[in-house]
Amino acid sequence: MYDPKPGDRLSSLDTPSMIVDLDIMEENIRKLFLLLQPTGVSIRPHLKTTKSPILAKKLIAAGAKGGCVAKLSEAEVMCAEGVDDILITCEIVGPAKVPRLVELFRKYPKIQTVVDSKEGASAIDAALKASGIETPIQVLIDLDVGLHRTGVAPEAALPLAQHIAKLGHLKLIGVQGYEGHLQHVHSREQREKECRASMVILSATATLLREEGFDIQVVTTGGTGTAEFCATVPGITEVQPGSFIFMDSDYRNAVGTYFSHSLTILSTVISKSGTERRVTIDAGLKSLTTDSGNAEPKDMPGVVYTPMGDEHGWLTWGVELEDFPLGARVEMIPSHIDPTVNLHDFYYAHRKGVIEEIWPVATRGKVQ
């Protein structure tokens, strides 16, 4: 069995394989910090994109303040690997999850989480009280700024804050508001206008809470499509971009080419049966997600990818292009980077076609 290792060339990899061009990835990181650091906001990258403590540490070394994760199980992996300045951006609710949060907090007291209900806050408080842990966990109120997925309405933030203040084991430190519905708005002008409207809701709520005596230190928001706008809004202290590091076709179509595609899925032409100007590659639905449209062949204008089941895909072209021979390698640009990464076990990070590092997708499948 072939076991890839640093120093091997990409041409030796079996396929489908997830590959990362280090020169492009490092330039994406440089560009993000060049864009955002002058604003003075903290950059807390969302690690649901990379799912990798190794990459989290690279981002921290570049200047990031810890990281975000979506799920408790992701936080458990990140903390165990030495990335323990973590904000869990989804609510922790229910008797299966809350005790896990308590045990994680016992080991890693820097973790933060969000709440959007009195019931949820009270359950965490009761579990911490029963555990004997005296230090309160830091929490942020999750505010609905227009996505309507999670978060309290602005008018409900103060009553929730007042409820948290009565609990002995929660410390309210901030508010979170994610404008996820705006990340892929194609018009830059419209995206900025609607983003700033969401930020008015978020910053005004933070101001109201401060006026009522709450020590709101953190106002966190933003993604790859909006972080540059969020970071210039007075009162915003932190942004959470994630996809910028790899990029996908959906984000590129929305926000342009400031960041480049550093991650692709390397595949192989395995069949030429059927019509002319059509070949089959070994990357299907188990290698590339389709929720944001189909993947694209890299640097192949006029060539279209169509999934053909779990393990196969077609490449077709309607113009006179050079034919693809059997065994030809094709790099596919994912349409949605986060769930595509979650389909693979390893990143093969290369520079000019030579593998330098191999990173496990450590939080793959960590959806609890």
Summarised one tens digit per residue, pLDDT across range 273-329 is 878 899 999 999 999 999 999 999 999 999 999 999 999 999 999 877 778 999 999
Q: Which residue has the tokens 């395995």?
A: 270
Residue 216 has pLDDT above 70, yes or no: yes
Residue 217 has pLDDT above 90, yes or no: yes
- How much is the average pLDDT of 63-80? 98
Q: For residue 125, what pLDDT is reported? A: 98
User: What is the Cα–Cα distance from 141 to 241, expressed in whole angstroms?
Assistant: 19
> In the chain, which segments carry CATH 2.40.37.20?
263-360
Q: Please, which pLDDT band fits residue 1 given cuts at 50, 70 and 90?
A: low
Residue 202 has pLDDT above 70, yes or no: yes
Q: For residue 16, what pLDDT is reported? A: 98
Report pLDDT digits (tens) over 227-273: 999 999 999 999 999 999 999 999 999 999 999 999 999 999 999 98
User: What is the Cα–Cα distance from 184 to 180, expressed in whole angstroms?
Assistant: 8
Mean pLDDT of the chain: 97
Q: Please, which pLDDT band fits residue 175 given cuts at 50, 70 and 90?
A: very high
Residue 2 has pLDDT above 80, yes or no: no
Would the pTM count as exceeding 0.85?
yes
CATH number 3.20.20.10 given to 22-255 = yes
- How much is the average pLDDT of 51-68? 98
Contact 73, 366 (CB under 8 A): yes
Q: What are phi and psi of 11, to 5 degrees?
A: -65, -20
% pLDDT > 70, the chain: 100
A 10 A CB-CB count for 267 gives 26
User: What is the Cα–Cα distance from 124 to 282, expressed in whole angstroms?
Assistant: 47
Q: Specify the DSSP class assigned to residue 244.
A: G
Q: Please, which pLDDT band fits residue 191 given cuts at 50, 70 and 90?
A: very high
> In the chain, which segments carry CATH 3.20.20.10?
22-255
Residues in the chain, total: 368
Q: Please state which CATH number belongs to domain 263-360.
A: 2.40.37.20
User: What is the Cα–Cα distance from 294 to 297, expressed in whole angstroms?
Assistant: 10
- How much is the average pLDDT of 108-123? 98
- How much is the average pLDDT of 28-56? 98
CA angle in degrees (0–180, nearest 5) for 250-183-43: 110
